[in-house]
Structure 1
């Protein structure tokens, strides 16, 4: 059996990010074999991660990355905002966003892909991070946009670091030239999307069920007016146009001047807006009433 030296323990800690005592125990259990000790810690990491997997993770970061004619955006969740300020966690989110550029936005494929600079999967790297940090974490979603020619611009609202924050936007703009001007316009549209929260790119892309719900509400409201049916229908048509102006990106009023429509701004620039995506950290996640910090304090007392 190899001697378990402090240097050996330190090397294992640097390779895995696990605690000092866990590294020492892993080396003892594996007879000083470094690779076996790494596997031992991985197994323990999986066990530790499983215990945390039921806890709500609604904090974390949104990350964006870009390349020629492509950009990617991911959301990686953790339990507390404290972890979002952890440099190791930030580096992980940035790596996953960069990985999505080549892997695509299928989350399961992203998890299964080899983590950059390692021989194991991205999910295994996340498991190690969970075991080290002590919080549940998940790769929640990803989105990749591409254009045949033009740019996919990125925008991060209140970025904590370049490409990392809590509200991220991708904007796909097609054009044959003027790439620098398109980048500027794309960023401006990204700011608009972050603020205006559009739900669809164009009128034809509005969710039919959402549209029908809106029409039903409007009909019920108009029915109490006592006006003739044909007048009511015209009233509904006008209100639906107003609805489109609220939820359709190309129909919205440009936030930068308060007058133009987004479609007019894009047309004037000679480009074509073909897609967008907006991720706001934690949206749609039902947070529990319990306070994680309070749980930790209670566990410490108990």
Structure 2
């Protein structure tokens, strides 16, 4: 059926056009072909950016103004709905024509049997024609209704596939979202208009100001302030350099003082143990001498065990100087 094929082809074309918009991403509408632009303006949400029109997207999906099922109408059978009735009517009309033809052959009832047989044959032939036309009319009507029903099922399946494919790449914008976008766009437009009006007011004020400076006066004024500024910067630079020099001298003096104190403290720390060791060594020598004397005294006692040791002998030994220390 030609109209059914045309409807399915239209679904495929719209699917390809919307898929082209989805695949292209953030591309101005002017870059698309006229058919794509027309479809985008009809079913997609459009936004303005940098004075150019773009298809609005949400998370990479196209924003549609209406549900995909409303992009294209259902397949219409209105132009074919009367055909089954016409066929049935033709069949009924043929029935009445056949009956009329059969009855027209009856010219009265005679006694001749052959005449009766001929009239009966004519009547039966007319009734047969009536039945054939009725059967033909109702049969063709039934077949056509089956064909129409099959076509409707095929187009419904094609549209269902179309809706599924479009839903996968799009999202429907609600009325609240559209209102929000309109409010934001109007707010941005108002802000731009306010900024432009402020700029115009400032320019008018400068142009109408009677004591406004000329370019030469502005240059002279700027030059004078620049000279004053340079002088102050040079003074600040001189002061900073002087302070840095003073800090350098203080740093050198502090380093020298710390060095002297460190040397003195280190010398004291090294000489104090040496003096203590000398004293310990002297005491050890005295102890060594006393022990050597006691050993000699013991040897004398051992050698002369008959002599009796007195206190004066011990004191004499202790007062002696050791001639050979113990090692």
Structure with bigger strand share is: 1
Tell me which of the two structures has the higher relative contact order, counting C-alpha pairs closer than 8 angstroms and 6 or more residues apart: 1
Structure with the higher helix share, 1 or 2: 2
Whose radius of gyration is greater, 1 or 2? 2
